[in-house]
Structure 1
């Protein structure tokens, strides 16, 4: 168990032209954005070059696009910001960005077509090589929530859990001569945790890659069911962190809260700073927390059409680089945390998730808002219990429980 101060950063949404900035990077615009981000006290940015810009043809990886990633990394270094690069975008803010060689007449499958898998692995390797020597390079994420290319996506690319395992392993091992200081990982939305029959499964998140990433959004039904500032909502990120730990085989595996934000569909603007503070404070009660990376840096400009309304107001900064109230609160939280390092209390009580012989939950619905396991964990947490999550496999193993520091299982705690 480690209790070092986690990193704080932002998911970078350029103030000018949103992610379309990657079609022709404007250094001065990026520089102004990064100056504003650094002013919040952030120590890193996560960036999202678009897949069709990087690899418009299966056998073409554009050198200019790779050079632009390196350029943005250098600009980040000017402001003492480390940079994490997502490779395959993939899915962003309600839009899919898929190169022409995979869609329509070509009708390819990014997860199961071997030539497509090889092409993506080549792209991961190329992006890694483009920034590997940058002193502020933090690492790669394979892409943003690529499990969203499964159902209910209307253009789903079906795959089995075994095929997903092959795809993830192939891409995660693609970088050549890895520097161990660089993180290579992957990300999913909460369908992996909460949706039965989804081919991406919890063990993918918690056992593959250098650390676990979680993306916490209360528009998944949590806010609607319990209230946007309810304990269930402000602890949703904490819950996901603890849930992810249940499926890790390494009890000290790091967890990166890679996305969390304050959606306007659930929160009034005046409520967003409080939601931010309570969410961050709850996350800081967990151990082995690598980073908190807020979604997102900047609002989407109202000049861009067809986004869901919440996308236009998720930023800590507006499109003129002015700090919003939620941005000021996030900056205060960063400073407060660095002044007084968190000291999480060990979690000695475990709520049990029933799993099968492959550590697949018997009911992932039970883990989501309204589910029995979700509600039981939150009930205990509200009572002041420092509660963790364990699988039924781990619950039957004294060594596994001791490795996690679990002394009581839920039914024992209630006796």
Structure 2
């Protein structure tokens, strides 16, 4: 089990790449050592690293390597996101893909060639660093592909799959043997029309990444302390396994946080404890990476209110109650934690062909029939797994998952 945090610099947020100060970064990383973490996830801003289609700034790449080295000196492994992409409600895309140069970022040959070159450059520069975990293609890049984005680059699921495979292959060639993956926001699991599908998330890359945010309607519908709210991250972990062809494929809870006002600040520590406890009761979890390390400086304008206070530390590096909750969970795990038993009872998920776009996956979303049934079963003390309807007769696959009893949604009272 790995425990980490998404690193948000205290000075300048991700704009810190413009005024890169390694001393500030070291001070930020030093504050994280109190939590007992073993890794961080970091975010180069794509337009700053590749401001022109044929220019990848050597100095920016050198700064990224310096950050990874500074983390390694503190015993922290580093996962690096490439195409940023989307962060905290802001889009960071280079000028050569927008307005007068508007091109589809997933299908235009020149743009895709440039993206491949960029990911190759970052992965190559880090390939010999022992503390480099691998690349994530980008942070929730799928949000550019459809609604509700105000100016989407629309694609089909087959095009999304081709693009992901090409980006992941580039990372694999540049830094072989590292854990390269991609990360989608929850539309991939919950939106019938979204071109990035559950199968893409659960079958491409070294592991499956899930991002759990209860402002997606969960906390609004079930309340900040509702069973469904506290189990949302665990639910996504288990849901993701339904599409995995490898029954032992690891799942990374790559983002999870306590967003106010959906989770009140005074309730953040309790939410953190409950979320971690339920996630740690899932098998096959590679790691949990909290969002985020430090609060956003309120001198920076125009963030949604919830983004300012998500840190485990304040902007001046004072630990918050949620940070103390994470530190306690990490300590208790290392003192006596163990892999939980496999989940023997599974709820059957029928969303059409599990191998393609899962055209009725909205039943998995908060308020959907499957979501509601899974949460009712879980609230009764059962530890439900999820299996697709197409696998119900696959005795070998069920046995590999440890499942010996399946229950239909209709049978859940």
Write the distance in 2 (CA, Å) between the matches of 1:388 and 1:129. 39
CA contact (8 A) 2:3 2:38 kept: yes
* 2:86 alignment partner in structure 1: 91
Write the distance in 2 (CA, Å) between the matches of 1:142 and 1:392. 31
Of 229, 246, 253, the match for 1:250: 246
What pairs up with 1:68-83 in 2 under 5 angstroms?
Answer: 68-83=63-78
Distance 1:414 1:214, change over 3 A: closer
Of 15, 19, 33, the match for 1:24: 19
Residue 77 of structure 1: CA displacement? 1.4
Map Cα deviations across residues 120-158 of structure 1 (whole Å, 9 max, x no partner). Answer: 111111100111111111111000000110221112111
What pairs up with 1:54-203 in 2 under 5 angstroms?
Answer: 54-150=49-145, 151-175=147-171, 177=173, 181-203=177-199
Of 379, 389, 392, the match for 2:389: 392
* 1:41 alignment partner in structure 2: 36
Write the distance in 1 (CA, Å) between the matches of 2:403 and 2:322. 36
CA contact (8 A) 1:231 1:382 kept: yes
CA contact (8 A) 1:285 1:342 kept: no
Write the distance in 2 (CA, Å) between the matches of 1:382 and 1:335. 27
Map Cα deviations across residues 178-202 of structure 1 (whole Å, 9 max, x no partner). Answer: 6554110000100000111110000
Residue 278 of structure 1: CA displacement? 0.4
- Structure 2: runs of 5 or more not aligned: none
What's the secondary structure of 1:175's corresponding residue?
Answer: helix
Of 354, 366, 369, the match for 1:369: 366
Residue 405 of structure 1: CA displacement? 1.8
Q: TM-score, normalization: structure 1?
A: 0.96
Q: TM-score, normalization: structure 2?
A: 0.97
CA contact (8 A) 1:353 1:361 kept: no
Greater mean alpha carbon deviation, residues 40-49 or residues 403-412: 403-412
CA contact (8 A) 2:197 2:356 kept: no
Residue 299 of structure 1: CA displacement? 0.4
Residue 403 of structure 1: CA displacement? 2.2
Map Cα deviations across residues 250-301 of structure 1 (whole Å, 9 max, x no partner). Answer: 0000000000000012111110000000000000011111010000001000
Residue 24 of structure 1: CA displacement? 2.8
* 2:206 alignment partner in structure 1: 210
Write the distance in 2 (CA, Å) between the matches of 1:8 and 1:112. 36
What's the secondary structure of 2:171's corresponding residue?
Answer: coil
What's the secondary structure of 2:80's corresponding residue?
Answer: strand
- Structure 1: runs of 5 or more not aligned: 1-5
Of 294, 297, 301, the match for 1:305: 301
* 2:349 alignment partner in structure 1: 353
Distance 1:173 1:409, change over 3 A: same
Residue 22 of structure 1: CA displacement? 1.3
What pairs up with 1:275-314 in 2 under 5 angstroms?
Answer: 275-314=271-310
What's the secondary structure of 2:183's corresponding residue?
Answer: coil
Write the distance in 2 (CA, Å) between the matches of 1:208 and 1:176. 12
Map Cα deviations across residues 91-137 of structure 1 (whole Å, 9 max, x no partner). Answer: 00000000000000111111010111111111111100111111111
CA contact (8 A) 1:84 1:141 kept: yes
CA contact (8 A) 2:83 2:137 kept: yes
* 1:381 alignment partner in structure 2: 378
What's the secondary structure of 2:170's corresponding residue?
Answer: coil
* 1:265 alignment partner in structure 2: 261
Residue 176 of structure 1: CA displacement? 5.6
* 1:3 alignment partner in structure 2: none
Write the distance in 2 (CA, Å) between the matches of 1:113 and 1:265. 40
What is the RMSD of the two structures over their aligned residues, measured on CA atoms?
1.5
Residue 362 of structure 1: CA displacement? 4.1
Map Cα deviations across residues 348-388 of structure 1 (whole Å, 9 max, x no partner). Answer: 11111113333543422110100010011111111111210
CA contact (8 A) 2:210 2:252 kept: yes
